[in-house]
A and B are shown apart, each in its own frame.
Chain A
């Protein structure tokens, strides 16, 4: 009886886990497998989104392809929703996380970051009919942001300082949802990367949205994350990020996905990464 029971549980588990293998993570493995697997968030335009063929595209996707080319391997894009980013990295389903991840000490406890590879400056995004023309005019209004992002923290601290009872704050699950909420009138304003806002408005999908000045937030510098143990890969990524800028490819990609204008410096004033 016991054996039968054990078999009844073990067999399906084995079936489920078939094809699962543990690999030694390192740059050699990437070369050996001929694939660079990048975790990308695909609800984060213009860094990650799906094009008309529903294939992954965006700044992060292009960045992954460039990195794969530099390694001489093929790029494989793995969609990693927010809660899956770290499990995917730890379980070796991806080699690098190129998902516009803001660099913070708390996160650096769990992953190893490269220096910044993209810089999000924030602007105020609002609808034509809200009369909001600057960051401070969002006081006492319905505003929103994407749950768990650094941008949200900045906006929320301002919101808490205003302490205006007429105001309200709503958190959304993805960028796309927050844009939709703004466009549909659920909220009146949010702060968002300037480039993303520009691309959004030019897309023609949200004709009633406009940019209303800069947000007084610190620069949102995002890095590429790898497993803490993968120091050799981290070194490579750092060199690669450096070469993307010096070769002019950074400016090119920036223009392609984030729109015209000067690409922002990949650094914060007064400090080196």
Chain B
């Protein structure tokens, strides 16, 4: 009887497998970045404007920042299981990473708002602007401008951290890489390819970001 072999060499069709992994990485990054930014803006603004919010959100922010993402992911997945919900690895990953991105972004937004001088805000209000008008036309544009480089940095961190969702069985690029390594034993070649992908995405953005920061510090 013929034995079916668990090991087989690398072949062209594996490129498609890797591309699917890249697609999954990008999908997860885009979803988590979008939701996370929305959460971050709201959370940062709430924490900046209200003491109650600062106090109320402190526990969750502390936990998100002090517990490894791997454990957050496993816990989230188990939590959905306990709650009786049916959460795919994509959903669990998307919830955890959105929250993570949100918390990091909120720190930036809060600092950004704090950087807008209080006299400027008072001046705007005394010109007859409502709270929202002032926020929309004065504080927010100034704060967001200060926040942008930091936000891009957070985005890069997020892109790299999507690699951890592979632990839940979500086949993103790093997981696809590991599967191929286990199957083919061609670690160096496959890893170099995967590393190159992350680098080519993150490096130009981080350079752009650094130049931006420099330019902003000069004016």
Partners in one complex: yes
Residues of chain A whose beta carbon lies under 8 Å from any beta carbon of chain B:
1, 4-5, 8-9, 11-13, 15-17, 20-23, 42-43, 45-46, 49-54, 57-58, 78-81, 83-84, 86-93, 174, 176-177, 180, 198-200, 202-205, 255-257, 259-260
**B199 close to A (CB within 8 Å):** no
List of A residues within 8 angstroms of B87 by Cβ? 17, 20, 91, 93
Verify B86–A92 contact, CB threshold 8 A. yes
CA distance A51 to B5 in the complex (A): 8
CA distance A204 to B7 in the complex (A): 8
Verify A87–B81 contact, CB threshold 8 A. yes
User: Looking across the interface, which residue of chain B has its beta carbon closest to that of A47?
Assistant: B6
Verify A16–B35 contact, CB threshold 8 A. yes
- Closest Cβ of chain B: how far from A75's Cβ, in Å? 17
Given contacts A20-B85, A83-B167, contact A202 B4 (CB under 8 A): no
Verify B85–A203 contact, CB threshold 8 A. no
Verify B77–A21 contact, CB threshold 8 A. no
**B64 close to A (CB within 8 Å):** no
List of A residues within 8 angstroms of B39 by Cβ? 8-9, 12
Binds A, one of B122-130, B155-163, B179-187, B202-210: B179-187
CA distance A9 to B44 in the complex (A): 12
CA distance A255 to B38 in the complex (A): 56
List of A residues within 8 angstroms of B13 by Cβ? 52-54
Closest 5 CB pairs of A and B: A45-B6, A91-B81, A8-B42, A12-B35, A90-B81
**B133 close to A (CB within 8 Å):** no
Given contacts A12-B39, A51-B8, A84-B77, contact A205 B86 (CB under 8 A): no
The total number of A-B Cβ pairs within 8 Å is 136
**B149 close to A (CB within 8 Å):** no
Give the interface residue-count category, chain B: 35 or more
Q: For chain B, residues 1 to 50, give those with C-beta under 8 angstroms from any C-beta of chain A.
A: 1-8, 11, 13-14, 17, 31, 35, 38-39, 41-42, 46, 49
List of B residues within 8 angstroms of A54 by Cβ? 13-14, 17, 179-180, 183
CA distance A255 to B2 in the complex (A): 8
List of B residues within 8 angstroms of A257 by Cβ? 3-4
List of B residues within 8 angstroms of A8 by Cβ? 38-39, 41-42
Verify B3–A84 contact, CB threshold 8 A. no
Verify B168–A260 contact, CB threshold 8 A. no
Verify B6–A199 contact, CB threshold 8 A. yes
List of A residues within 8 angstroms of B3 by Cβ? 198-199, 202, 256-257, 259-260
CA distance A157 to B184 in the complex (A): 33
CA distance A55 to B63 in the complex (A): 38
**B88 close to A (CB within 8 Å):** yes
